[in-house]
Amino acid sequence: MLNFFADPQWIIPNIIAPFIFTAVALMFYGNVSNSLALYAVIGGGMMGMWGSTLYGAGFALSSDRWNGTLEYVLGTPSRLIWIVAGRSFSAAVLGLVNALAILLIVVLGFGANLGIVNPLAFLLALVLTLVSLSALGVLLCSSFLLTRSAQVMTNGLEMPLYVASGSMFPIALLPFWSQGFSFILGPTWGIDAMRYAAYASYTGMAFGYWADILVLILSTLAYLAVGFWLFIVVERRVRRDATLVEI
């Protein structure tokens, strides 16, 4: 986690994009009504969190590779997974800061008044989404370990995620065949849950707030399970081939 904070300037790409995308969305809205502003903020905040999770997973890992410390980290008894989970979570939380910044800018810049109908539910959805994001980060991290170029992957992955998770528009708009992919992303459900909590009359995905929460929890567990399994695979492979020694 310390590595991550040591190089703050590297987080910038993942902060700037969400800001600008949100700004574009707001420009599209024209006259910004409160509910639309909220939509944009949730979406923008989500993108910010995605961005920093991805970033945290990929960069921390590839900087390990650069430093050659990865071998040592893999050797420690405390499973790599806990270390990565920690990093991933802190990255997601950092994304929350990002989201708050977007919130501030929207409120100050566009003068919107954001009222959330059910704050507690919103908070629950938010926290669970963060957890889900971190779990996803862990999963991504483990799959990045198998490839040589984690950083390039993180650069490419944010856009598809912004689109697929329906951060700025309902996924119902997306082509039918792609919606499957959207559904397996935990945060998609998370956003939906947050919108349920925020708006009085919102019809999002078919099953309502608690269904969303349920899927969030299930998906988080699924990610962790797969991630865990992948880490074991990676550790085994490393001991066998010593592939991670070189960059």
Where along the sequence are the contacts to other proteins (CB under 8 A)? 9-10, 12-13, 16-17, 20-21, 23-25, 27-30, 149, 152, 156, 159-160, 162-163, 168-170, 173-174
Smaller CB distance to other proteins: residue 20 or 218? 20
How far is the C-alpha of 223 from the C-alpha of 229, rounded, in Å? Answer: 10
Tokens found for residue 118: 């059910």
Smaller CB distance to other proteins: residue 17 or 138? 17
CB of 73 to other proteins, least distance (A): 22
Smaller CB distance to other proteins: residue 20 or 184? 20
Q: Beta-carbon neighbour count of residue 68 at 10 Å?
A: 12
* Cα atoms in the 13 Å half-sphere on the side-chain side of 93: 9
- Mapped onto helix, strand or coil, the DSSP state of residue 19 is helix
CB of 36 to other proteins, least distance (A): 8
44, 99 in Cβ contact below 8 A?
Answer: yes
How far is the C-alpha of 88 from the C-alpha of 217, rounded, in Å? Answer: 17
CB of 198 to other proteins, least distance (A): 17
Smaller CB distance to other proteins: residue 39 or 89? 39
CB of 58 to other proteins, least distance (A): 14
CB of 108 to other proteins, least distance (A): 15
Smaller CB distance to other proteins: residue 38 or 138? 38
Q: Beta-carbon neighbour count of residue 115 at 10 Å?
A: 12
- Tokens 């996803």 appear where? 136
Tokens found for residue 205: 């995905």
Smaller CB distance to other proteins: residue 27 or 221? 27
Smaller CB distance to other proteins: residue 77 or 156? 156
Q: Beta-carbon neighbour count of residue 71 at 10 Å?
A: 13
CB of 43 to other proteins, least distance (A): 9
CB of 21 to other proteins, least distance (A): 7
Q: What would the DSSP string read from start to end of 90-138?
A: HHHHHHHHHHHHHHHHHHHHH------S-HHHHHHHHHHHHHHHHHHHH
How far is the C-alpha of 124 from the C-alpha of 213, rounded, in Å? Answer: 9
